[in-house]
Structure 1
Amino acid sequence: MTTPARPRSGFRLADLTWIEAADLIGDGLPVALPIGAAARAHGPHLPLGTDRLVVEAVAERLLARMPLLVAPSIGLGYHPAFMDYPGSQHLEATTFEALVVELIEGYLRHGAERILLLNNGISTEAPLRLAAQTILQRHGIRIASADLPRLHDDAASDDERDTSLLLAIAPALVRMDRLGETGDLATDDEPALRVLRQPLRLTPEERPGGLLNRSGAMADASAATAEKGERLLADMVEAIAADLRQLWPDL
């Protein structure tokens, strides 16, 4: 009797029945958790759900080329810097960390042994590292993490990067008439610190403890193009896939 071949592509868990999910988890397929804000300001030209749209696009491309189980996205996270912009939502770091730990433990309880965190955020990195450490201490399982903002050309601003990615993924959602608006960041009274770091709070109006940023964008994104976005997506997916195959050669 021959052993069934491992599938070459993956699946979205939300599309499966629980019986199908049990079989695939039992076959050892890694579970990928996309994490990206579904409600965070990105300036006047990008939707609040930009981070979620990007991480889900990366997850879709990964499952098309390797056997992964892609879990439903986590659309809320630790994003304190943007809370003054209407529509933005945020969880305290401890709440976000606990949420991720509980979700991972649910998949472990069902038999998963390999977990990948696809994180499209910067402020979420530290809580996710703590969550991964908690899983290691409790269960002896090492969580794999990919931080998407780290996987791009440092010469481009985050705003140009996000705009290029959205132009490639969902161009109809980019408000092209507002593309050239910059962050208008008021830093005249801020010292130019080279080593020390402080928490950042951006505000659309003058508010105590905040840095005035009327648009919510940090830089001019007018150089963004769909072609740049496609290259970014391809590079991110290739880098993550290469590392996953080195970490888990059976993929």
Structure 2
Amino acid sequence: MRKSSKELKLKHMTTCEVDSVLTSQAPLFLPMGTLEAHGRHLPSGTDTICAEEVALALARTFGGVVAPPIEYGLTNVFAQTAPASFSPVSVFSDYVENVIVGFLKHGFTKIVIINGHGGNREPLKPLIRKMSRRGRAALAVINWWILATDVSKKIYGEASDGHAALEETSCVLAKYPELVKKEFFEKEKDLYIPDDGIWLFPPPGEVLISEPEKGLPDFSQDKAEKFFDAVIDDIKGRLSVWFDSLGKFQNKRGLR
């Protein structure tokens, strides 16, 4: 029977249910985003919303569970636009590290971070490398929107490589269509193409794209659902190979 989202969330489980999860060595999916402006057509929690939905879909496939999201990330470009979350990088890194260490201490051996925010990527790199040296736990970070680029090209014929643009709009539209305000989107007011020759804080537009008229938000519900399903299928394939490989190396001496 297909598990509901509530049944997959760690925060809804009793200690007895968590014990069962640990015994089965199920993977733990940890969504991560931020609070940040996403144009006038998307919610400020878009990064976390998308990360959690990706995590739920993957947990359903792999028999895993989803940890409560880390919603306060490192907002940089839109730090001056309300609402925006930010803390010193060291504070963010220490917090994330302690969250993961807590899960490891309690017996989770496979932890997959689903990251939905570009500003979190740089501090996550050294953190995961550092933690991978601590013992037998297998750790992964998935920046879902980057992996979604090829899917975008197949579904829409193009990709945005941007912010609050094609991929993120499609993700929210697929799962929470009521949160997408198509009527608020105006190209003249919302679009901006960043240029490394001039840094603007805040940018004059919150929908960031890399080329004119390319990767703009698409408001087709049907395409959005196909997009989301295809993204999940792609990530499933990648994770399946990884999970299968772990069985070869997990033993009393460690992973390798």
Q: TM-score range by the shorter chain?
A: 0.7 to 0.9
Residue matched to 1:156: 159
Residue matched to 2:153: none
The correspondence for 1:216, drawn from 206, 216, 221, is: 206
More helix by share: 2
Alignment of 1:24 with 2:27, yes or no, is no
* Cα separation, 2, equivalents of 1:121 and 1:24: 28
C-alpha contact (below 8 Å) 1:135/1:142 kept by paired residues:
no
Residue matched to 2:87: 91
Secondary structure, counterpart of 2:208 in structure 1: coil
Give the alignment's Cα RMSD to 1 decimal: 2.7
* Cα separation, 1, equivalents of 2:238 and 2:2: 17
The correspondence for 2:185, drawn from 179, 193, 197, is: 179
* Cα separation, 1, equivalents of 2:168 and 2:27: 27
Residue matched to 1:231: 226
Percentage of pairs with the same residue: 25
Greater shift after overlay, 160-169 or 69-78? 160-169
C-alpha contact (below 8 Å) 1:40/1:49 kept by paired residues:
yes
Identify if the C-alpha distance between structure 1 residues 187 and 97 changes in structure 2 by more than 3 Å, giving closer, same or farther: closer
- Partner deviation per Cα, 1:123-166 (whole Å, 9 max, x = no partner): 21121112211212333534111111212236322312211222
TM-score, structure 2 as length reference: 0.79
- Partner deviation per Cα, 1:149-185 (whole Å, 9 max, x = no partner): 2122363223122112222111111122122334454
**Equivalenced residues, count:** 227
Residue matched to 1:191: 197
Residue matched to 1:243: 238
* Cα separation, 2, equivalents of 1:236 and 1:99: 29
The unaligned stretches of length 5 or more in structure 2 are 151-157, 248-256
How far apart are 1:82 and its partner, in Å?
1.1
TM-score, structure 1 as length reference: 0.80
Task: Kindly provide the amino acid, as one letter, of the partner of residue 128 in structure 2.
Answer: A
* Cα separation, 2, equivalents of 1:101 and 1:115: 12
How far apart are 1:36 and its partner, in Å?
1.7
Secondary structure, counterpart of 1:245 in structure 2: helix
Secondary structure, counterpart of 1:144 in structure 2: strand
Residue matched to 1:61: 57
